[in-house]
Amino acid sequence: MKSAQRPPPRVWRRLGTWREDRQLRRLSISAGDWQRALGDWSVYRRYSELERCWLHEAALRLLLRKHFVGVDGLEISDAIRLRIAGMAVVPVLGLGLDWYDGWQTLILYDGPFVANHSWQDEYGIVHQETSERSGEAWEHGPIVLSLRDVLDADQHDGYNVVIHELAHTLDMRSASANGAPPLHSGMDAVAWKRDLSAAWDDLARRAELGERLPVDSYALEDPAEFFAVLSETFFESPRSLQSAWPAVYGHLVAFYRQDPLALT
């Protein structure tokens, strides 16, 4: 969702960038550090050497701009910081890091955490709900992640909690978390809605028939989850998404300004 805060004056932004460039030059992260942090991740391995350099720089800038906080005394090692930041910047490699300006803090739990939420039904009755989560994203932050699930990314086909939660933050930059992030000029919003709705209906039909699904059935929770799960699958298992719903894959290529299949 759009931030209510006004952007800082240009001169501050220039100063911020200059200071960040200086901090960036002082960091010494070796190729081995990156390899230990991300070397087992298929999405990272797919990028060329040059693209990995862009990813490294974006990840370090993200670490300079955001606060990573461990809960219950959880120590966040440098390797974990690099891993999370490296995964987090993948969705914005073609968009720019300022797409994450709406949040500042990332909170890390050791394992799944219990979230308490209240919601109001159509009759105005407020319901309390408690559920175990592997991740959560709020409109102006924080991002909340379970470290165990971060480490599990790439163990299950198409699953990546970091990309999932960060996709929610992109979605929230439009009017609300509704499965429709702000589209770039030249993108067709009507075609986006039509093709994602058709994919939703197809997924619901396949789930009901008990067929093998191209994306996690959690996508059917609501349109926001649908977009987040599509985004995970787009980066983690692009072929399965492209073969199930080529038009949806094409919309995500246009939105993310990346084509994961062209890299394989």
Using CB under 5 A, list all residues that contact Zn ion.
225, 228
- Rounded to the nearest whole angstrom, what is the least distance from the CB of residue 73 to Zn ion in the complex? 27
Q: Which CB atom, from 188 or from 222, has the smaller least distance to Zn ion?
A: 222
Nearer to Zn ion, 58 or 228 (CB): 228
Residue of minimal Cβ distance to Zn ion: 228
Least distance in angstroms from the C-beta of 43 to Zn ion: 19
- Write down the least CB distance from residue 225 to Zn ion, Å: 5
Strand-pair category, 143-146 with 135-137: antiparallel
CB 65 within 8 A of CB 17: no
Q: Which is nearer to Zn ion, 145 or 228 (CB)?
A: 228
- Of 149 and 225, nearer to Zn ion (C-beta) is 225
Q: Output the six-digit token pair for 120.
A: 């109001």
Query: Do residues 24 and 50 lie in contact, with contact meaning Cβ atoms separated by under 8 Å?
Result: no
Secondary structure of residue 175 in the 3-state scheme: coil
Q: How far is the CB of 228 from Zn ion (least distance, A)?
A: 4
CA nearest neighbour of 194 among 255, 248, 250: 248
Find the Cα–Cα–Cα–Cα dihedral 50, 53, 58, 61, rounded to 10°.
Answer: -150
Nearest alpha-carbon partner for 101 in 110, 111, 92: 92
Please identify, using beta-carbon distances, which residue of 162 and 248 lies nearer to Zn ion.
162
Instruction: Compute the least distance from the CB of residue 108 to Zn ion, in Å.
Output: 17
